[in-house]
């Protein structure tokens, strides 16, 4: 943990920093008291050197997923865990989705009751030269929360990098076609909206893992390999979330995979 962080006073809207690995510290921060509906924004703030990483909600082939245990909390319900768009990393042939350096991971909580307590057991993967599962227990009494502009700004800045549902008139992504024999999915995109190199396809933590987008001779088509050994035909009908960068920022859309053929792909690019 940096000397500057160690010298910061503890405010009502944050826990003390906890060192969880050499040079890596974590704390829980809050934007302040719940709003009239009972919603409150918190975040896991991770201070890491620029060469140290942790992992996205789908960590990849070698990464460790973040686990948050709220069982010690009182009057608290996790409504949403928000993930900024990660960096795709390929090391020694293995694909992971990561965050390097200072990272803020927002949490949307529903607060019920005057004695509500946020008590989280956090387990996360931290990697530099070696990878370790690091743990911290982070506790904040909700009754002590007051508006915290500095922490609200930190959370808002992280939320600005979280992909949101696409709201434009033109669809950025069209059909998503499963090509089981080729071990890929073919995704129709609008290249004026979607930065092809930024495209990430994901399901849930236990679902299939899709690789980095591959260039196609057609500008409106991106191919993503299906990684690992699986029955690719079983992916037919699966819902896949596509996250991407656009000129307007980070967005996401969901599409259902439909089994196709090379001839079907040719129709997409005609």
Q: What CATH number has the domain bearing residue 139? A: 2.60.40.1250
From the CA atom positions of the chain, what is the Rg in Å? 20
pLDDT of residue 231: 79
Q: What is the pLDDT of residues 63-89, one digit of tens each?
A: 999 999 999 999 999 999 999 999 999
Q: What's the CA gap between 104 and 28, in Å, rounded?
A: 10
CATH number at residue 256: 2.60.40
Same domain? 242 vs 189 = yes
Q: What's the CA gap between 190 and 174, in Å, rounded?
A: 8
| Residue 161 pLDDT > 90 | yes
Report residue 182 as tokens: 């080729």
Q: What is the pTM of this model?
A: 0.89
Contact yes or no for 86/56 (Cβ under 8 A): yes
> Last residue of some domain: 141, 162, 183?
162
pLDDT of residue 264: 55
Same domain? 131 vs 32 = yes
- Read off the pLDDT band of 10 (50, 70, 90): very low
pLDDT of residue 16: 97
> Last residue of some domain: 162, 194, 224?
162
| Residue 180 pLDDT > 90 | no
Same domain? 10 vs 127 = yes
pLDDT of residue 118: 96
Contact yes or no for 156/150 (Cβ under 8 A): no
pLDDT of residue 12: 65
Same domain? 204 vs 145 = no
Q: What's the CA gap between 155 and 145, in Å, rounded?
A: 15
- Mean pLDDT, rounded, of the chain: 90
pLDDT of residue 215: 81
Same domain? 106 vs 235 = no
Same domain? 18 vs 53 = yes
Same domain? 138 vs 21 = yes
Same domain? 255 vs 183 = yes
Same domain? 62 vs 42 = yes
pLDDT of residue 8: 39
Same domain? 81 vs 180 = no
pLDDT of residue 116: 93
| Residue 186 pLDDT > 50 | yes
Q: What is the pLDDT of residues 106-136, one digit of tens each?
A: 999 999 988 999 999 999 999 998 899 999 9
Same domain? 183 vs 153 = no
| Residue 258 pLDDT > 50 | yes
- The whole domain housing 171 covers 165-269
pLDDT of residue 129: 83
How many domains is the chain partitioned into structurally? 2
3-state secondary structure 1-54: CCHHHHCCCCCCCECCCEEEECCEEEEEEECCCCCCCCEEEEEEEEECCCCCEE
| Residue 29 pLDDT > 60 | yes
> Last residue of some domain: 96, 130, 162?
162
- Read off the pLDDT band of 7 (50, 70, 90): very low
Same domain? 82 vs 181 = no
| Residue 268 pLDDT > 90 | no
Mean pLDDT, range 192-207, rounded to an integer = 92
Contact yes or no for 61/209 (Cβ under 8 A): yes
Residue burial 44-77, b: 16+ Cβ < 10 Å; e: rest: bbbbbeeebbbbbebbbeebbebeeeeeebebbe
Q: CA separation (Å) from 166 to 88, 97, 139, 250?
A: 21, 22, 35, 9
pLDDT of residue 260: 81
- Read off the pLDDT band of 206 (50, 70, 90): confident
Mean pLDDT, range 210-227, rounded to an integer = 91
């Amino acid at each position: 943990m940096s000397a500057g962080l160690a010298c910061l006073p503890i405010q009502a809207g944050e826990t003390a920093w906890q060192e969880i690995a050499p040079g890596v510290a974590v704390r829980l921060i809050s934007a302040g008291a719940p709003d009239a509906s009972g919603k409150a924004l918190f975040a896991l703030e991770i201070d890491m050197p620029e060469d140290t990483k942790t992992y996205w909600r789908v960590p990849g082939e070698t990464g460790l997923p973040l686990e948050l245990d709220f069982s010690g909390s009182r009057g608290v319900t996790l409504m949403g865990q928000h993930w900024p768009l990660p960096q795709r990393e390929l090391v020694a042939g293995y694909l992971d989705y990561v965050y390097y350096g200072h990272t803020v991971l927002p949490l949307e909580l529903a607060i019920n009751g005057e004695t509500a307590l946020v008590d989280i057991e956090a387990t996360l993967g931290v990697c530099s030269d070696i990878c370790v599962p690091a743990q911290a227990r982070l506790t904040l009494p909700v009754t002590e929360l007051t508006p915290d502009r500095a922490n609200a700004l930190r959370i808002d800045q992280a939320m600005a990098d979280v992909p949101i549902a696409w709201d434009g008139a033109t669809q950025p992504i069209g059909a998503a076609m499963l090509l089981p024999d080729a071990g890929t999915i073919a995704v129709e995109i609008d290249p004026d909206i979607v930065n092809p190199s930024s495209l990430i396809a994901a399901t849930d933590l236990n679902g299939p893992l899709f690789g980095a987008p591959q260039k196609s001779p057609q500008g409106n088509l991106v191919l993503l390999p299906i990684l690992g050994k699986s029955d690719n035909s079983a992916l037919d009908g699966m819902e896949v979330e596509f996250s991407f960068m656009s000129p307007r920022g980070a967005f996401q859309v969901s599409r259902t995979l439909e089994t196709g053929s090379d001839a079907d792909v040719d129709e997409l690019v005609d």
